[in-house]
Structure 1
Amino acid sequence: MQQGETFGKVPDISFMDFLFGGFEETSSYKDRPWIVDVPSGRSVTFGQVKEDAVKIASGLARLGFRQGDVLYFVTYEAARLFLVKIGVWMLGGVVRGCSQNELPDDYARQIKESAVKFVLVDSETIQVIQPALDILKYDGCIISLDDEPIPGTTHISKLLADDGSALKLPTKTNPKEDPLVILNTSGSTGNPKGVVHTHYSIVENMKSLRNIPNEDTVLEFMINYGVGFFTIALHYLNTGRTIYHINKFERGTYFDYLTTYKPRSILFYPHVANWFARCDDQLETLRDANIIKLMLVGGWVLDPTTADLLCGKLSNTHLMQVYGMTEIGNCTSTKIGQIKPLKLDRCTSEGQVVTSSGMFLPSYEGKIVGVDDKKRVGPHELGELYVRSPCIAKGYLMPGNKVQNLTDEEGWFQTGDLGIQDEKGNLFIKERARFMYKHRGDFVLPSEIEAVLLEHPDVQEAGVVGMPHPTTNSSSRAFVVIKKGGKRNEEELCKFISDRLHYSKHLHSGVRFVENLPVNRGGKLDRKALRQFALDNN
């Protein structure tokens, strides 16, 4: 078992009391931007946050918003979106967001199960959510964020023009029971679930994030309705830092944004890191400019080859990796000292080299148990990770506004991730348990094969799935994106794997070359979509 330094005492206060407890300190940097939407340039400064949120809260109250009501958002914006969120919380309300590319039935299901009374959109997303509102015969309030009003909606300018006099603080909050936000999971193993976080769990998440080193500015492109952006945005508000939020990530403009905004840190998912680490000319320019001091990787585990490329090509930049989930927040982080580490810590498990996600932050403890017997295993033994913390959400939202508990009777949450810990307590995540498959009697972890493929100099990205086979149960097939200027050679890549991995992990179903790999709502490799693509094009 490994746990952080201390659980610490969670203050029994509402999130708004926690957030604005020392907010007067922002006077020294009131003109500094908190969130900047890229590429529109719309921003919110620290000095305007509280004043504008009060106006929005008052305007919402005039529209009938009451304590306990839910605002549902589908938008590409981030800056003004968070002003609305804070206004909702001032009234004792709850927020929930969703992907901008969901199906009408899924929008309708989430709106219905959350008992939504207010919906927030922009000019693009009103087109995708309107069919769901028609299905529900929705007659609640719709708020729009664009520069120009959308017919049939209440424009954000009307709320910002309010004098604030209608704001009435909610009655007493029960921090451990009252919901603050419903966060959608990424849907990596099925439909997205609504995860209910309370004031209590989010306050503790905010406290825990103070243990992760940060720079003054960050450029990121996280989904604006997920746990990652939610927590980092509020953490940066709480600590006086600036976020440059890319509304829609495109590789063709990413390096332009880096040179324009000159962030001191960048945050990205592993599949983007794979591409980024192989952009030789652009990385040479970045290294010479000496702008970026921190590269933060989250969402999944970085393979060793890509980690080494990043550390080698940006030798004056720290590389940090975190691990977390929607249900539990960010619970581990690799350590950064005064001297830059040459590479992320790593270990070898059953022949697979895995990079470390670091140690548990204060307020968290974890244990690795056997997949079958659920008994705690020793250092360097593979098993499933369980986590316990006051940061864990209250539960999954169920029909009828019920909440399904996430933990067992001792407070442990089953993550579904396979990994190991070393003697020091460093965590090494190998794979989602559901993504494993068998070749004859041997378990195969697709991420292991992908990590080896990424060692090949011609490979930029790789995804592996198990194909049905009548005699071996499953056989591995790789989908590969070739680096610019690289060669497409299926036989060579198959041999590259067979020379390095056990027979059960060979690419018995071959290699297919693709222009890109599918990515799910949470910015991770969409293994479900990749496998379906493989089956449809077998």
Structure 2
Amino acid sequence: VDVTTGKSLETGKILQDSLKATKILQNLGIKKGDIISIISENSLTYCIPELAAFYMGVTVQLLNPLYSTGELKHALAISKPKLIICSQLSVKNVRQTLQELNFEDKRIVLFEGTSENCSNIASFKDLLHNTDFIDPEFFNPETFDGSEQGALILMSSGTTGLSKGVLITHENIRAAFDHMLSEEYTGLKKSDVTVFILPFFHIFGVLVQIHSISVGFRLVLLRNFQPNMFLESVQNYKPRLLFLVPPILVFLAKSPLVNYYDITSVKDIIVGGAPIASQLHVDATERMPNLSIRQLYGLTEIGGAATSTRKNKIKIGSAGVLIPHMSAKVWDSDLKKAVRPLKVGELCFKGPAVMKGYVGSESDTNLCMDEEGFFHTGDLGFFDEDGYFYIVDRIKELIKYKGYQVSPAELEALILTHPSVKDCGVIGIPDEKAGEAPLAYVVKQSDTDVTEHDIINYVAERISAGKHLHGGVRFIDEIPKTASGKILHRKLLEVFNVSL
């Protein structure tokens, strides 16, 4: 169900249209082994060309429709797609980017409608309407090795640099579903419904999309996060489970708007995309006491989730235990060995859901995969004696203050507990005496008069001296984040550098 349009699409219609879409792709010259790109916000028809490509052995790159031309240029240069299917929101940037890349020979198809930027561009909706019905009983999908054939190219989060094209195979997707279909993790059935805000171009989003089609539960789509529309949809459709990213959990824990809606149908929230602080978990639970909040940890490169929290087995602050068929080690780069429980190191994972590699960059793939087949995440964490995992921070984002290693995530979690703070991000800035000093960028709650010194003192009263905000506090309108809710610390550093 698309909340914006009020229209819906049943699984039978999805099957019919996706089979017809194979004929459309074939008529556009697409064949097994090719790559196409989909650049669109969430919509009912998003899955149609995606599924058609799967049947044909065609790899689909899913991209953010809000990418700048620079970001789009980088992503399309990686995949070199033969066809681009895009929405009206992205078509102008797509055309400009193709010109800059000298890719004018690439075909563009618009999902639906027309635009001043769309002269001579076919409408996918019209092509579907004009394509004859294909009987599923007589349709023969392509045969291929699922462990080798790419299903998806998804862009990595790019929190510390340029994003990379992550190749996810059909076998990777199948392995990821061993976790998602399990009763102790999600247990979604055909009779269930969930209100869904996560973008389909994100690993978490596309897996839930495919999960919905496979099982048949109702997916209520919002194209972007609008607080009142989100709460109204939850009130009207009454889901028992929600998939969220941390910024929306912060909203549910702090926003006064929540008091005006009945969201008591929700009994379970699964949070992914970025770690959530223990205090946020506590605050959200206090406000919604009949709610179970479960955290998972994963990356695009490891097929979505590496760890997840099982029903009724929650440890606050933990991202859960290893999902089925996933192995892990915590690696000490100084000692060059895996460490025991409760010791912090780099989180490394191995399993059938781990990516095939980075598209067009064997060197980057080799850098993050070791000789034992473990993917090195670049995230610091540890596990306890019960096998529960805890995320500390990104290795590259640790702030070195007078020899101390200061975690931005720890400071961000503390600052978010201040009642006048809506959001925040912490970076290390150059300091002549200390090397680096923590600087907090803060978004105020509306109608508050909190000052820089208020927040500096608030932190100083609650944490050791080496972790104080020695770089100060600056107020900002918005914290830059990825679609999954991860803070783009490098963007905050750019903001700081521009201010010098």
TM-score by shorter chain over 0.5? yes
Match of 1:76 in 2: 41
**What is the aligned partner in structure 2 of residue 279 from structure 1?**
255
Aligned mates of 2:285, 2:463 — CA distance in 1: 26
Partner of 1:265: 241
Give the Cα–Cα distance (whole angstroms) in 1 for the partners of residues 43 and 363 of structure 2: 29
Match of 2:169 in 1: 198
Residue 511 to residue 52, structure 1, CA distance change in 2 (3 Å): same
In structure 1, what is the equivalent of residue 121 of structure 2?
A: 153
1:324 counterpart residue number: 298
Separation in 1, partners of 2:246, 2:363: 35
* Distance in 1 between residues matched to 2:448 and 2:310, nearest whole Å: 35
Counterpart for residue 532 of structure 1: 494
Corresponding position: 1:440 with 2:402: yes
Contact 2:153 2:168 in 1 (8 A): yes
2:145 is matched by which residue type in structure 1? N
Give the drift of 1:171: 4.9
Q: Does 1:314 align with 2:283?
A: no
Question: Following TM superposition, by how much is the alpha carbon of 1:459 offset from its aligned partner in structure 2, in angstroms?
Answer: 2.2
Q: Tell me which moved more, 227-236 or 372-381.
A: 372-381
Equivalent pairs counted in the alignment come to: 487
Name the residue aligned to 1:14. Answer: none
CA apart distance, 1:170: 5.4
Q: Measured at CA, do residues 403 and 305 of structure 1 come closer, stay the same or move farther in structure 2, by a change above 3 Å?
A: closer
Q: Retained in 1: the 8 A contact 2:195–2:219?
A: yes
- 1:428, distance to aligned residue in structure 2 (A): 0.4
Is the alpha carbon distance of 1:511 and 1:106 closer, same or farther for their aligned partners in structure 2, counting shifts above 3 Å? closer
Equivalent pair of 2:55/2:142 in contact (CA under 8 Å): no
**8 A contact 2:274–2:484 mirrored in 1:** no
Match of 1:385 in 2: 347
**Secondary structure of 1:477's partner?**
strand
Matching of residue 174 in structure 1 with residue 145 in structure 2:
yes
Alignment of 1:217-232 (within 5 A): 217-232=193-208
CA distance in structure 2 between the aligned counterparts of 1:151 and 1:204, rounded to whole angstroms: 42
Q: How does 1:117-516 map to 2 (within 5 A)?
A: 117-135=82-100, 136-148=102-114, 150-156=118-124, 157-164=126-133, 169=140, 171-211=142-182, 212-215=185-188, 216-280=192-256, 282-283=258-259, 285-286=261-262, 290-328=264-302, 329-337=304-312, 344-346=314-316, 355-398=317-360, 404-405=365-366, 407-516=369-478
Amino acid at match of 1:441: G
Q: Is the 8 A contact 1:101 1:128 kept in 2?
A: no
- Offset at 1:49? 1.7
Distance 1:511 1:109, change over 3 A: closer
Instruction: Please say which of residues 357-366 and 511-520 is displaced more in the overlay.
Output: 511-520
For the residue of structure 1 that corresponds to 2:298, the secondary structure is: strand
Q: Which amino acid aligns with 2:37?
A: Y
Alignment correspondent of 1:30: none
Q: Is the 8 A contact 1:461 1:481 kept in 2?
A: yes
In structure 2, give the amino acid aligned to 1:256. E
The 8 Å contact of residues 57 and 143 in structure 2, kept in 1 or not, is answered as no
Does the aligned pair in 2 maintain the 1:222–1:523 contact within 8 Å? Answer: no
Deviations 1:13-53 (A, max 9, x none): xxxxxxxxxxxxxxxxxxxxxxx333223432112121111
The 3 A distance-change label for structure 1 pair 245 and 523 is farther
Give the conservation status (yes or no) of the 8 Å contact 1:91–1:169: no
Deviates more, 1:474-483 or 1:322-331: 474-483
Distance in 2 of aligned mates of 1:363 and 1:266: 25
Gaps of 5+ in 1: 1-35, 347-354
- Contact kept, 8 Å, 2:193 with 2:237, in 1: the verdict is no
SS in 1 for 2:153: strand
Q: For residue 304 of structure 1, what is the amino acid of its counterpart?
A: S
CA distance in 2, matches of 1:359, 1:242: 28
In structure 2, C-alpha distance between the alignment counterparts of 1:105 and 1:168, rounded to whole Å: 40
Summarize the Cα distance change of 1:208–1:197 in structure 2 as closer, same or farther, 3 Å threshold. Answer: same
With structure 1 as the length reference, what TM-score do the two structures score? 0.85
Offset of residue 160 of structure 1: 4.0
CA contact (8 A) 2:42 2:222 kept: no
**C-alpha RMSD of matched pairs (Å):** 2.3
Helix, strand or coil: the match of 2:167? strand
TM-score, length basis structure 2: 0.91
> % of aligned pairs identical?
26
